[in-house]
Structure formats: C-alpha cells, structure tokens
Copies of this chain bind each other. A is one copy, B any other.
Amino acid sequence: MSDGPDRRFADAVGSVPILEAMEIRLVEVRSGRAVAELPPEPNVNHFGVTYAGSLFSVAEMLGGVLSLATFDLEGDLAGFVPIVKESTIRFRRPALGVVRAETLLSDEEVARVRRDALETGKGEFVLEATLTDAQGEVVASTAGTYQLRRL
C-alpha cells in the first residue's frame, strides 16, 4: 500500500454502522501497524469530552484492520478470522479534540501468531494501543487479547 489505507480496510469499518456513526477515519494501515482518528462530534459527552465507549471502539477496531493487513486471511490463513477475547482500557485524562489511536505488532509476534494458527488452529496475541490528543498527550491506553481462529 503506497498512499494510505486501501478500500478493503475502510469497508471493514463501514460494515459496522455504529463505527461509521463515530466517523472513525483510518490514517494508516499496513502489516503490523494500524492508526485511526476519532473526531469529537458525535462522540462527546455533555462536558465536551470524548465518551469512553468511543475511545474504546477506535482502539478496539484497530485489532480487526491490523489483522486484515498483517495476516494473509485469503491465502495461507484462509478460513481464519480475528476475534477479540478481552480488552482493558485505562483512562488517563479527559480526551478533547481529535483523538489518534495507534497500535503495532512486531514482526516476531506476527510470525509466531501465524505459526500458532497454522499448527493449532488458533493464534493468540495481545495488542496494545495508545490514544493521544492533538498535543500528543496520552488520553487512554488499551490492551486487547485477540485470536486468529479457524471458523
């Protein structure tokens, strides 16, 4: 991918109406890395602070798009789907303005998950995401446990 997230990833977000309603925008999606932005409206509460559930969602959905971009779910991992098992979010400070969520999965982890999935039918991994405001201050962080599972 040379110039930003391709159609496939945007379609994955657009297929969940409530994610589309949050107006989440994919900024960068490639193997091992996913970044998205969440605008304030319609995600703010009556104090003008971005609602906890929208912060959770923008971080959580990165696990899905990162999986699509990282694992060859139409090739050697055809028949596998990414599912989220558990997720923890820590709120650090009130989130004001556009929030950026980023996550990374190392090449070593990608190789291990792929191997585990092919050998056992299940590849589990933990994705940590960091949510920052326009000033680069961390407003929240998440750790999600995902599995690639054979359907």
Residues on A facing B (Cβ under 8 Å) = 15-19, 21-22, 41-46, 51-54, 56-57, 60-61, 83-91
Contact = CB atoms under 8 A, between A and B. Distances in A.
A18 B56 CA distance: 13
Contacts of A61: 53
Contacts of A57: 51-54, 56-57
B18 A54 contact: yes
Specify how many copies of this chain sit in the oligomer.
Answer: 2
Nearest to A51: B16
Contacts of A45: 15-16
Nearest to A56: B56
Contact of A15 (B46, B60, B90): B46
Contacts of A88: 86-89
Contacts of A53: 18-19, 53-54, 56-57, 60-61
A125 B44 CA distance: 24
Contact of A43 (B18, B41, B83, B91): B18
A84 to B, nearest CB: 5
